[in-house]
Structure 1
Amino acid sequence: MEDLAAQSSPAEVVAGLAERFIDSAGRAGSEQVSTPRLTRAVRHFAGAVNGIVFDPACGIGSLLLAFGSCPEVVLAGQDADPSAARLAEARARLAGRTDMTIRVGDSLREDRRPELRAALVVCDPPANVPDWGREDLLLDARWQLGVPTRAESELAWLQHCYAHVAPGGRAIFVMPASVAYRNAARRIRAELVRRGILTQLVALPAGMVASHAQSVHLWLLRRPSSPDDDAVSAVRVVDLTANDPEGPFEPTPDQVVDVPLIDLLDETVDLTPARHVAASRTDHLAEYMSTREALVSRLHELLGLLPPLTSGPGPLDGAAVKVTDLARAGLVEVTDGEATSTGDQLDTDYLHGFLRGAANTRRSTSASGSFRADVRGSRVPLMGIDDQRLYGTAFRALEEFERRVKELTELSDRAASLARDGLTGGALRPTTGSLPETPAPRR
């Protein structure tokens, strides 16, 4: 770096320092540096800005400087690292922004700009910080949405940012993806939605941050300009996880859905964009009709699968042979608890059918109730090969019947889920005169 300073201008030195700091993934402090990709994404979703732009965890100033070319904005920041703050100010001066001011201090514990209210607050906060000062800040007025847990430092930063948003202003906050669904954050997520503060949530592609390869989210907040300001009725969710991290960041129509607030306020308050965008792409009518037709078809198939049976000869335990004797005679092979015929004297389906019978199941169950996989002690009745094959055909039909019943159960669950979600979400409606008769509920 001394060689670089001797051979370069101050502007090149500062630019080189910033570039090395941004690229130093894995080094202490580098996880708090906003990458150029993330900076471009935040700038894109910020749109037009006029007024104060504030970053309470500005680091070396990357997010603030994304707005440096806008003469109509005033840049302000704070950071706990004095060295990072000095580098941010040097970068601003070299960019021609001599008006940018950075205060030094931990914003959560020592807010150096308590009276500042900004048109836009941007923040890529420290992540996974277990000691963010919760015990000392339990009664802080910033926790309007609820006191974050020790594990939810990001939600403390989010509420700090919102406290600095002016009426009618906005905040763009970089958030780990897990905060959208973690149970510990559910109550605060619900308050953000219920009060109409959260307006948009964007899932960015993987590779946007230096310290890990997971996707991060942008949470966009808005403070009403007055008590009479119309609250938002839906949250726009955007799923860009399949996009190139270099951009562009303009979503296609199938990557965006406006989710009504009431649909978000369920037991989990899961805000994960992929979940809601995927649900919006479901063609409920087509899928429901297709599933219903498959269900009707399977019901008809089931009618022909149960084999025709008649009265039997009575208990078959009299003339029976143990599987262990069959194995000793080389007529069956037992592997991993499964017996298989080795020749033409014994039908395998006949063998499997009787091994699954109630009597043999009891023999394979210990006194403690645990099931033993070894079938060697099981018994198989003695009968001719023609009768074995007759029984084997019936057992095969029963196995196919059981398999189809399992498929039918899955189809039934799918049909009921599609119908219920479609009816409650407005994608489906009942048709008049075609509903099946259902028994009246018992009183």
Structure 2
Amino acid sequence: MNAESRSGADLLVTAAEIARSVGVTRAAVSGWRRRHADFPAPVGGGTRNVLFVLSEVHTWLDRHRRSDPGEVLLWQALRRTYGDDMTRGVAGIADLFVTGAAASLDDEIASQATALAAESSPSEVVAGLTARLAGSAVPEHVTGPRLIRAVKHFAGQAHGVVFDPACGIGSLLLALGDGCGVAGQELDPAAARLAGSRARLAGRGDVTIRTGDSLRADGWPELRAPLVVCDPPVNAPDWGREDLLLDARWELGVPTRAEGELAWLQHCYAHVAPAGRAILVMPPAVAHREAGRHIRAELVRRGLLTQLVALPPGMAAKHDQPVHLWLLARPASPDDAVSSVRMVDLTANDPDGPLTPTPGQVVDVPLVELLDETVDLTPARHVAASRSDRLAQYASLREDLAHRLHELLTLLPPLTAGPGTLDAARMSIEDQRLYGAAFRALDEFERQVKELADLGEQAASMARDGLTSGAIRPQ
């Protein structure tokens, strides 16, 4: 049933019908649902074709200005002209408002944009188009609002210069750099132009965005910032390894072709000032992939990684998979290096819920415990291990040891004086049976003594670790 055939205040519509009425793609509606906690909740339908109350959707659209017919017409004109390259179209409109020149726009689009800005403001027009850009195409260089909120939460208050070497259209950088100097670099020229224009339209004269490949051609070689943030490109087929093998930035080791994320991590760390911090968005696989084990080990060994946070699914604009936040710090002196890494597991949380972990979601892991054969830094693994009941485990082991010790006494056969040297040929069948049983009992006793030694070593190790961590205490 279509929306047109329904009546009443509680008309129900599908996502496809919402998209048609507003003039956007169905993917745009899915993006709004994923990134905006206040988008109306579905009230019916199946998993593939959910239904929404039309009046609630209209209220939400009005609140977010997505039902503005002028904005819809402008967006449709941009789509007809630029197709999938909508970043370039929105950047052209932002350039028009900043410079007054419409060289990259046709006259119809420039006229529509100017008329729409007269009704509100240039910055509101660009903000609306940027929101549509993030909600429809979801390009690689757009960081969604949920992820921005998480980065802001764990980065804390920024002071001095904030730097983002893969800033995209500038959403993360501008959100973190409020009241600070801002520097960024972006490979895509249109995205870099849009980031710079958004800053100027917001009255930010302290923002400088440079264009270029940050890994191959660092546009800020001398910059050392108190805070570096980055949502780097992932799964890049070629991050430039062959051209950068001897680069000084790889102080933790040269990443493999498959570990481009660890190249971005080291690039960001190279730009961190003494006593400064970096916070990066990473795929979960970076925490445990075999190819990155040596770099992870060096990062931990030097005490540079301070915290690793596993965020809930649905935080990223590009996909619904979980992501991690890696927090690094450059010690002002060797004595400032950390002795443990804080592991936070928020994967079970609502993506729009609180970001402060409960006591059961966080654990401080000593560096030495992370430096095993795998150097697996997955937070869930360490948080789960910290929640184990060491006291109950130790009590169970102790009881098992006592039981096994009692059993050992019964395994030793009772022996009496014998005739001396045995003559097996003259032994009776009964004597052969008795001697055979005694030797088998001694073999079993010896075997169980060895098992008991292993069990005792396990109990002692568990008790020692529990006492050291404070999980258990002596009676």
Instruction: Return the TM-score normalized by structure 2.
Output: 0.62
* Residue 196 (structure 2) aligns with: 89
TM-superposed CA distance for 1:284, in Å, is 0.5
- Which of 256, 259, 272 is residue 362 of structure 2 equivalent to? 256
| 1:10-409 to 2 correspondences below 5 Å | 10-24=122-136, 27=137, 30-69=139-178, 71=179, 73-226=180-333, 228-290=334-396, 293=399
Corresponding position: 1:3 with 2:110: no
After superposing the two structures, state which structure 1 stretch, 205-214 or 422-431, moved more: 422-431
Tell me if the contact between 2:161 and 2:177 (Cα under 8 Å) persists in the aligned partners: no
CA RMSD of aligned residues (A): 3.1
After superposing the two structures, state which structure 1 stretch, 142-151 or 204-213, moved more: 204-213
CA distance 1:248–1:415, change in 2 (3 Å) = farther
Per-residue CA deviation, residues 163-193 of structure 1 (Å, 9 max, x unaligned), is: 1001111100111111111110100000000
Tell me if the contact between 2:162 and 2:177 (Cα under 8 Å) persists in the aligned partners: no
Question: Counterpart amino acid of 1:163?
Answer: A
Indicate the SS of the match to 1:196.
Answer: coil
| Cα distance between partner residues in 2 of 1:237 and 1:119 | 23
Tell me if the contact between 1:166 and 1:223 (Cα under 8 Å) persists in the aligned partners: yes
Unaligned runs of 5+ in 2: 1-71, 76-112, 408-452
CA distance 1:431–1:223, change in 2 (3 Å) = closer
TM-superposed CA distance for 1:55, in Å, is 0.1
TM-superposed CA distance for 1:420, in Å, is 3.7
| Cα distance between partner residues in 2 of 1:198 and 1:189 | 9
| Cα distance between partner residues in 2 of 1:255 and 1:271 | 15
Tell me if the contact between 2:339 and 2:366 (Cα under 8 Å) persists in the aligned partners: yes
TM-superposed CA distance for 1:281, in Å, is 1.1
TM-superposed CA distance for 1:247, in Å, is 3.0
Tell me if the contact between 1:59 and 1:79 (Cα under 8 Å) persists in the aligned partners: yes
TM-superposed CA distance for 1:255, in Å, is 1.0
Tell me if the contact between 1:14 and 1:87 (Cα under 8 Å) persists in the aligned partners: no
| Cα distance between partner residues in 2 of 1:422 and 1:156 | 41
TM-superposed CA distance for 1:421, in Å, is 4.1
Per-residue CA deviation, residues 210-265 of structure 1 (Å, 9 max, x unaligned), is: 22222111111111113x44221111111111111113211111111111111111
Tell me if the contact between 1:54 and 1:77 (Cα under 8 Å) persists in the aligned partners: yes
| Cα distance between partner residues in 2 of 1:189 and 1:107 | 22
Report the count of equivalent residues: 321
| Cα distance between partner residues in 2 of 1:415 and 1:92 | 65
CA distance 1:154–1:429, change in 2 (3 Å) = same
Tell me if the contact between 1:423 and 1:429 (Cα under 8 Å) persists in the aligned partners: no
Question: Counterpart amino acid of 1:90?
Answer: S
Per-residue CA deviation, residues 27-54 of structure 1 (Å, 9 max, x unaligned), is: 4x71332110000110111112211100
Q: Which has the higher helix share?
A: 2
- Which of 459, 464, 469 is residue 423 of structure 1 equivalent to? 464
| Cα distance between partner residues in 1 of 2:275 and 2:230 | 18
After superposing the two structures, state which structure 1 stretch, 6-15 or 197-206, moved more: 6-15
Tell me if the contact between 2:401 and 2:455 (Cα under 8 Å) persists in the aligned partners: no
Question: Counterpart amino acid of 2:169?
Answer: I
Tell me if the contact between 2:164 and 2:173 (Cα under 8 Å) persists in the aligned partners: yes
| Cα distance between partner residues in 2 of 1:7 and 1:167 | 47
| Cα distance between partner residues in 2 of 1:63 and 1:196 | 27
Bigger CA radius of gyration: 1
Aligned sequence identity (%): 69
* Residue 448 (structure 2) aligns with: none
Tell me if the contact between 1:288 and 1:415 (Cα under 8 Å) persists in the aligned partners: no
After superposing the two structures, state which structure 1 stretch, 280-289 or 54-63, moved more: 280-289
TM-superposed CA distance for 1:87, in Å, is 1.2
CA distance 1:102–1:414, change in 2 (3 Å) = farther
| Cα distance between partner residues in 1 of 2:306 and 2:345 | 15
Indicate the SS of the match to 1:101.
Answer: strand
Instruction: Return the TM-score normalized by structure 1.
Output: 0.66
